Amino acid sequence: MTFAFDNTYARLPARFFASVSPTRVRAPRVVKVNRVLAGELGLDPDQLASPEGAQVLAGNALPAGAEPIALAYAGHQFGFFVPQLGDGRAILLGEVVAGDGRRVDVQLKGSGRTPFSRQGDGRAALGPVLREYIVSEAMAAMGVPTTRALAAVLTGEPVVREEIVPGAVLTRVAASHIRVGTFEFFAARADREALTALASYALRRHYPDAAGAGNDALALLDRVVQAQANLVARWLGVGFVHGVMNTDNTAIAGETIDYGPCAFLDEYDPDKKFSSIDHGGRYAFANQPRIAQWNLARFGETLLPLLADDEDEAVRLATERLRGFPALFAAAHARVLRAKLGLVREEEDDPALAADLLARMAHSGVDYTIFFRRLCAAARDPSEDAHIASLFAEPGLFHDWSRAWRRRVAREELAPDSRAAAMRLANPVFVPRNHRVAQAIEAAVRRDDFEPFDTLVRVLGRPYDDQPELAHLADPPRPEERVLQTFCGT
Catalytic sites, residue numbers: 248
Q: Compute the least distance from the CB of residue 31 to ligand AMP, in Å.
A: 19
Which of ligand AMP, Mg ion, none does residue 260 bind (CB under 5 to 8 Å by kind)? Answer: ligand AMP
Closest CA to 183 of 217, 223, 147, 145: 217
Q: What Å distances lie between residue 435 and 82, 209, 269, 359, 448, CA to CA?
A: 33, 43, 17, 25, 18
Contact at 8 Å (CB) between 225 and 328?
yes
* Residue with Cβ nearer ligand AMP (216 or 248): 248
* Residue with Cβ nearer Mg ion (128 or 167): 128
* Residue with Cβ nearer Mg ion (258 or 267): 258
One symbol per residue from 254 to 273: x for binding Mg ion (CB under 5 A), - otherwise; what is it?
----x---------------
* Residue with Cβ nearer ligand AMP (3 or 235): 235
Q: Compute the least distance from the CB of residue 169 to Mg ion, in Å.
A: 16
* Residue with Cβ nearer ligand AMP (84 or 200): 84
Question: Residue 67: helix, strand or coil by DSSP?
Answer: coil
Does position 123 interact with ligand AMP (CB under 6 A)? The reply is yes
Among left, alpha and beta (phi > 0; psi -120 to 50; other), residue 436 is alpha
| Strand positions, DSSP E, 83-183 | 90-97, 103-109, 124-125, 148-160, 164-174
Q: Compute the least distance from the CB of residue 27 to ligand AMP, in Å.
A: 20
Does position 122 interact with ligand AMP (CB under 6 A)? The reply is yes
The binder of ligand AMP chosen from 45, 53, 86, 428 (CB under 6 A) = 86
CA distance 73 to 246: 12
Does position 105 interact with ligand AMP (CB under 6 A)? The reply is no
Query: What CA dihedral angle connects 403, 405, 411 and 412, to 10 degrees?
Result: -140
Piece of 121-129, 143-151, 224-232, 326-334 that binds ligand AMP (CB under 6 A): 121-129
CA distance 54 to 422: 41
Query: For the chain, what is the radius of gyration of the CA atoms?
Result: 23
Which of ligand AMP, Mg ion, none does residue 272 bind (CB under 5 to 8 Å by kind)? Answer: none
Start-end of H helices in 342-433: 350-364, 368-380, 385-389, 395-410, 416-424
The binder of Mg ion chosen from 107, 228, 249, 293 (CB under 5 A) = 249
Does position 295 interact with ligand AMP (CB under 6 A)? The reply is no
Q: What Å distances lie between residue 448 and 125, 284, 452, CA to CA?
A: 14, 33, 11
The binder of ligand AMP chosen from 53, 68, 260, 289 (CB under 6 A) = 260
Q: Compute the least distance from the CB of residue 178 to Mg ion, in Å.
A: 13
Q: Compute the least distance from the CB of residue 324 to Mg ion, in Å.
A: 27
Does position 121 interact with ligand AMP (CB under 6 A)? The reply is yes
The binder of ligand AMP chosen from 23, 171, 249, 295 (CB under 6 A) = 249
Q: Which distant-in-sequence residues (6+ apart) come within 8 Å of 268 by Cβ? A: 239, 358, 361, 362, 365, 366, 367, 368, 371
The binder of ligand AMP chosen from 49, 71, 85, 202 (CB under 6 A) = 85
157-166 residues labelled b (16+ CB within 10 A) or e (exposed): bebeeeeebb
| Strand positions, DSSP E, 136-270 | 148-160, 164-174, 240-241, 263-264
Neighbours of 260 (CB within 10 A): 19
* Residue with Cβ nearer Mg ion (174 or 370): 174
Using CB under 6 A, count the residues that bind ligand AMP: 17
Using CB under 5 A, count the residues that bind Mg ion: 2
Q: Which distant-in-sequence residues (6+ apart) come within 8 Å of 360 by Cβ? A: 366, 392, 397, 398, 401
Does position 184 interact with Mg ion (CB under 5 A)? The reply is no
Does position 88 interact with ligand AMP (CB under 6 A)? The reply is yes
Which of Mg ion, ligand AMP, none does residue 123 bind (CB under 5 to 8 Å by kind)? Answer: ligand AMP
Closest CA to 137 of 412, 486, 461, 484: 461
- Enumerate residues 450-489 that contact ligand AMP by CB under 6 A: 488
Residue 152 bridge partners (DSSP)? 32, 170
Which residues of this chain interact with Mg ion, rule CB under 5 A?
249, 258
Which residues of this chain interact with ligand AMP, rule CB under 6 A?
85-89, 116-117, 120-123, 248-249, 258, 260, 488, 490
